[in-house]
């Protein structure tokens, strides 16, 4: 049973553990692999950000954030980012968080959701977002330096939340 | 004669004046029109940001920033933003800053430049960036709420800096 809920300060250790593992791998996010705990948590818990965790049998299995992608005349488009514990992948936790996130974004009144930086080689993420209704609306040529594959393309993905 | 140089603390008043006029118009940037001076200058002079001004006969006629668009495996792609004093438009100041910025980005070792949020109705900007070698690599449907035209598309523009 997966319980997705707003994160609290008591989740900070678990979130940092996931965050660190994900960015240290260096194959999915545009963050410094050596980013400090302090910086990472400041980013994940930024004042304008909704932060969630996915809990499974008392353990944090994933976390996501939801925020406006731009301010002012761009603030009706949301942005989100997701991280799943490496050992817990392939169990639908990313999908459950994605669906939860779309619901939260609608509840908060956002008209759309945009992912700015989906690495094209991250096939499971690209597939999942397409299944959840996102389209690739942009391709950034060679915008990601993959640890094994060198410079690879990055997708901008977008989904309307209105009918 | 236009002199483009790194900004100093003494340029803060002039930069805020431009910034405020540009965002209050609400037709080109994804910032809150009521953003405070403090927030605006913190953004424009962020620690990871190179900040420049274009000076014409002792007056600041424009300003731009240059920074990495992502960190870590995405840090080879730069990002920039430009503002010209409304009264000084149509005199080539944007173009001069754009050319200067491309040179600075190359000098700093960036491999490409990306604009994340070029409002499609900002025809002079879109035309200028195309003339300077940028291509529209993405279209964000309705991602900007224009004060007169309602929801309009936004372009992601990209230009390589390598041969």
Question: What ipTM is given for this predicted complex?
Answer: 0.95
Rounded to the nearest 10 degrees, the angle between the axes of helix A37-44 and helix A12-25 is: 110
The pLDDT confidence band at residue A141, using thresholds 50, 70 and 90, is very high
- The rounded distance, in Å, linking the Cα atoms of B111 and B133 is 14
Asked if B144's CB is within 8 angstroms of A32's CB, the reply is no
Q: What's the gap in Å between the CA of A32 and the closest CA on chain B? A: 4
Asked if A72's CB is within 8 angstroms of B32's CB, the reply is yes
Sign of the dihedral through C-alpha A143, A69, A66, A76: negative
Q: Residue B152: what pLDDT?
A: 98
At residue B155's C-alpha, the angle toward residues B113 and B65, to 5°, is: 40
The pLDDT confidence band at residue A1, using thresholds 50, 70 and 90, is confident
Asked if A160's CB is within 8 angstroms of B141's CB, the reply is yes
| DSSP codes joined into one string, B43-112 | HHT-TT-EEEEEEETTEEEEEEEEEESSSGGGTTEEEEEEEE-GGGTTSSHHHHHHHHHHHHHHHTT-SE
- The rounded distance, in Å, linking the Cα atoms of B13 and B43 is 14
A19 touches chain B (CB under 8 A): no
> Which residues in chain B have Cβ-Cβ distances shorter than 8 Å to A156?
138, 140, 156
Point out the residues of chain B with pLDDT beneath 70: none
pLDDT in tens, B106-127: 999 999 999 999 999 999 999 9
């Amino acid at each position: 049973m997966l319980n997705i809920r707003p994160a609290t300060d008591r989740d900070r250790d678990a979130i940092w553990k996931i965050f660190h593992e994900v960015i240290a791998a260096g194959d999915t996010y545009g963050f410094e692999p050596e980013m400090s705990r302090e910086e990472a948590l400041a980013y994940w818990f930024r004042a304008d950000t909704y932060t969630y965790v996915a809990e499974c049998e008392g353990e944090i299995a994933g976390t996501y954030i939801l925020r406006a992608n731009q301010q002012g005349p761009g603030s009706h488009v949301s942005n989100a980012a997701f991280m799943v514990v490496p050992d817990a992948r392939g169990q639908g936790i990313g999908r459950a968080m994605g669906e939860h996130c779309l619901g939260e974004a609608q509840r908060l009144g956002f008209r759309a959701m945009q992912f700015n930086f989906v690495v094209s080689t991250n096939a499971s993420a690209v597939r999942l977002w397409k299944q959840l209704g996102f389209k690739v609306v942009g391709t950034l040529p060679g915008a990601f330096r993959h640890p094994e594959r060198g410079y690879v393309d990055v997708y901008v993905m977008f989904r309307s939340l209105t009918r």
